[in-house]
A = this chain, B = another copy of it.
Amino acid sequence: MDFRNNEEDYIKTIYTLIEAFGSANEIGISSDLNVSMPTVSEYLNKLEAKNIIKKFNRKIYLTTYGLDLAAPIMSRHRISEVFAVKMLDVPWEESHDAVMDIEHSIDDLHFNKLRKNLGNPDRCPHGNPINIKENPNIMEFSINQVPEGRYKLSRIIYEENNLLKKFADASILPGQNLTFYRDGRSIVISGNNEFKIPEKLAGSFRLVTSYE
């Protein structure tokens, strides 16, 4: 009876799952928001009735209206993460979890001031754009689109704690280089050290060609 998610949390989670993996499903939402499946099912009905999401088969998508709602939500989330890193001394890999209350507690007007006073960042600590409607104009690929090799990490879309920790431990933050190779249904990534992640997560991190 402690954490209660609100509409913004549902939209944020759905947006992120779609951006990372193409669509969202109820299991993913349930595990990201730490609520039971019936709770998700029920909540999605509300979002559907409000024309925020649409389901095809069992895949969940945001409507155009839903995307319009998502833009400022993602922006507030990502500015909050920059704030957490710069003003609360939170390590970048923990910043996603650290802001889950803050992001709802400041309005857009004040978030703009905060962003300015933080030096006008345009990416969150994980490399994701603060303005999702701005096309960053970068040639980004997800791991399943490119051959094994060496790349620069552009961003990590699905900001899951354990995943982020692995990157942090290997000193691979956005902007840094990594090498990867496939091992069956897994992907082995190395920076300062090596770690393995399931192929399912491949869509979540985006790479650019490394010119170094």
Q: Which residues of B contact A113 (CB under 8 A)?
A: 87-89
Is B106 within 8 A of A102, CB to CB? yes
Per the bound structure, the CA–CA distance linking A207 and B182 in Å amounts to: 72
Q: Which residue on B lies nearest to A87, using beta carbons?
A: B117
Partner of A106, one of B89, B101, B104, B110: B101
Chain B nearest CB, measured from A2 CB (Å): 11
Per the bound structure, the CA–CA distance linking A28 and B72 in Å amounts to: 37
Per the bound structure, the CA–CA distance linking A149 and B106 in Å amounts to: 41
State whether the Cβ of A114 lies closer than 8 Å to any Cβ in chain B: yes
Task: Count residues on chain A whose CB falls below 8 Å from chain B CBs.
Answer: 17
Is B87 within 8 A of A114, CB to CB? yes
Chain B nearest CB, measured from A6 CB (Å): 11
Of residues 44 to 93 in A, which have CB atoms within 8 Å of B's CB atoms?
A: 84, 86-90
Q: Which residues of B contact A101 (CB under 8 A)?
A: 104-106
Per the bound structure, the CA–CA distance linking A84 and B107 in Å amounts to: 12
State whether the Cβ of A98 lies closer than 8 Å to any Cβ in chain B: yes
Is B114 within 8 A of A88, CB to CB? yes
Per the bound structure, the CA–CA distance linking A114 and B113 in Å amounts to: 17
Per the bound structure, the CA–CA distance linking A117 and B84 in Å amounts to: 11
Chain B nearest CB, measured from A119 CB (Å): 12
Partner of A98, one of B89, B98, B110: B110
Per the bound structure, the CA–CA distance linking A114 and B89 in Å amounts to: 8
Per the bound structure, the CA–CA distance linking A136 and B57 in Å amounts to: 65
Is A89 within 8 A of B117, CB to CB? yes
Of residues 101 to 158 in A, which have CB atoms within 8 Å of B's CB atoms?
A: 101-102, 104-106, 110, 113-114, 117-118
Per the bound structure, the CA–CA distance linking A102 and B99 in Å amounts to: 11
Partner of A88, one of B84, B89, B98, B106: B106
9 residue pairs, one from A and one from B, having the closest CB atoms: A101-B105, A105-B105, A88-B110, A89-B113, A102-B105, A88-B113, A87-B117, A87-B114, A88-B114
